[in-house]
C-alpha cells in the first residue's frame, strides 16, 4: 500500500463524508427537536434521488441545480407528514413510533418500486469522468462538486438556526418544550416546520448523492442505517456533530476499503457504532441522554 493510494482514499473519504454529513443532518434536526427517530430517513433520501433523476430526464437539469426544487418538494412532504400523521403518535411509546415510520418507509419504497422499478438508474453528466490533479492527488470532479454543494447547504441550515427568528424559535422548542409553549410559540407548527426542514435537507442530500451513486429503491434501508451511524457517532441532535460524524465515517469507510476490503467497510462502521454506543452513547458532540 503506497502513500498515494492512502492519500487519495483519505480525500475521497472526506468529500463523501461531507455528503453523508448533510444527509445525517436531516435526521439529527428531526431527532433533536421532535425527539422522533426517523426510520423513514433513507426512504426520503431515495425519493429525493428519484426526484432529481426525473428532473434530469425531463429538463436535463443537473442534479446540483435541482437541489432547491427537490428540497422544496420534500419540505412540503415532510411538513404534511408531521402535521397530518406523526403528530398523532407523539404520545405513544417508542416502538409504536418506530412501527409507524417503518410502515411509512415500506409504503414509500414500494411506491418507488412501482413507479421506477428495481434496477439502478443514474444520471450521465458530461463532467462525470473529469478530475483535478493536485500533486499526488486525483480528485473526481463530481465528488468535489458534491462536497462543496453539501457544505453550502449545511452552512445555510446552520445559519438558519443561528440567525433566523423561526430557526431560533425551533431551537427554543428543542431545549424546552414547556417553556416554548408558555411563551406562546406554536409548537405544533414549529414541529411541522422542523420535519419539513429536516426532509428538505435530506432531499438536497439526495440530489447531491445522485452524482455519486445510481439510485434504486432498495438503497433506502442502507442509507437509514448509515445516517444512524453518523448521527450517533457525532451526537444525536448536535448539528456540527452530524457533519463531523459524516466525515469520520466517510474517511473510515474509504480507508477500510483500501486497507482491508471494500465489502467490509460497512461492517467497520457498525463496529464503530457499537463501540460509540457503549462508551459514549451521547456521541462525540452530543449532550448526555436523559
Partner 1 sequence: MSLYTRLLGDLTGRGLAALAGFVVLLVALPSLVSSYIATVATIVLYLAFLGQAWNLMLGIAGLLSIGHALFVGIGAYASAYLFAIHGVPPLLGVLAGVAIAVAAGALIGYLGFRFAIGGVYFALLTIAFAEFTRIMVDHAKFLGGTEGLFLPVSAASRHGFDLLNLRGSPEMFYYLILALALAALALCRWLLTGRTGYYWRAIRDNPAAAQALGVDVFRYRMYAAMISAGMAAVGGVFYAFFYNNLFPEQVFGIERSIELTLAPIVGGVGTLFGPIFGAFVLTPLGELFTAGVEWLQTSGAIGRHVKVDGVKPLFWGIAVAAIVLLRPRGIWPWICDRLGLVKPPSERS
Chain residues in the site for partner 1 (CB under 8 A)? 37, 85, 88-89, 92, 94-96, 98-100, 102-114, 117-118, 217, 221, 225, 228-229, 232, 261, 263-264, 266-267, 270-271, 273-274, 277-279, 281, 289
CB of 41 to partner 1, least distance (A): 13
> Which triple of cell numbers denotes residue 127?
463532467
Report how far apart the first and last C-alpha atoms of the chain are (Å, whole number): 45
CB of 72 to partner 1, least distance (A): 25
- Phi first, then psi, for residue 37 (nearest 5°) are -90, 115
CB of 51 to partner 1, least distance (A): 17
CB of 23 to partner 1, least distance (A): 17
DSSP per-residue string spanning 111-125: HHHHHH-SS-B----
DSSP H or E stretch at residue 132? strand 131-134
CB nearer to partner 1: pick between 6 and 37: 37
CB nearer to partner 1: pick between 115 and 164: 115
Quick one: which of 66, 47, 25 has its CA closest to 197? Answer: 25
Residue 146: Cβ within 10 Å count = 25
CB nearer to partner 1: pick between 136 and 267: 267
CB of 110 to partner 1, least distance (A): 4
CB nearer to partner 1: pick between 67 and 231: 231
Angle at 78 between CA 111 and CA 118, to 5 degrees: 20
Amino acid at each position: 500500500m503506497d502513500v498515494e493510494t492512502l492519500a487519495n482514499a483519505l480525500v475521497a473519504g472526506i468529500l463523501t463524508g461531507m455528503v453523508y454529513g448533510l444527509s445525517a443532518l436531516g435526521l439529527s434536526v428531526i431527532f433533536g427537536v421532535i425527539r422522533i427517530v426517523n426510520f423513514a430517513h433513507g426512504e426520503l433520501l431515495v425519493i429525493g434521488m428519484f426526484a432529481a433523476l426525473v428532473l434530469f430526464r425531463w429538463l436535463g437539469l443537473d442534479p446540483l441545480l435541482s437541489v432547491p426544487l427537490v428540497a422544496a418538494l420534500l419540505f412540503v412532504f415532510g411538513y404534511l407528514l408531521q402535521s397530518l400523521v406523526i403528530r398523532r403518535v407523539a404520545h405513544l411509546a417508542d416502538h409504536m413510533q418506530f412501527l409507524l415510520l417503518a410502515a411509512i418507509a415500506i409504503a414509500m419504497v414500494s411506491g418507488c418500486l412501482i413507479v421506477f422499478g428495481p434496477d439502478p438508474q443514474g444520471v450521465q453528466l458530461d463532467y462525470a469522468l473529469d478530475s483535478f490533479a493536485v500533486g499526488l492527488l486525483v480528485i473526481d470532479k463530481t465528488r468535489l462538486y458534491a462536497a462543496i454543494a453539501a457544505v453550502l447547504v449545511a452552512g445555510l441550515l446552520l445559519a438558519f438556526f443561528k440567525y433566523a427568528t423561526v430557526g431560533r424559535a425551533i431551537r427554543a422548542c428543542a431545549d424546552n418544550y414547556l417553556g416554548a409553549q408558555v411563551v406562546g410559540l406554536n409548537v405544533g407548527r414549529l414541529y411541522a416546520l422542523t420535519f419539513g426542514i429536516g426532509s428538505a435537507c435530506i432531499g438536497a442530500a439526495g440530489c447531491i448523492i445522485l452524482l455519486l451513486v445510481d439510485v434504486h429503491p432498495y438503497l433506502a434501508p442502507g442509507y437509514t442505517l448509515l445516517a444512524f451511524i453518523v448521527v450517533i457517532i457525532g451526537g444525536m441532535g448536535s448539528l456540527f456533530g452530524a457533519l463531523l460524524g459524516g466525515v469520520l465515517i466517510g474517511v473510515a469507510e474509504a480507508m477500510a476499503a483500501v486497507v482491508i476490503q471494500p465489502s467490509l467497510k460497512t461492517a467497520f462502521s457498525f463496529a464503530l457504532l457499537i463501540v460509540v454506543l457503549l462508551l459514549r452513547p451521547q456521541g462525540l458532540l452530543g449532550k448526555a441522554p436523559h
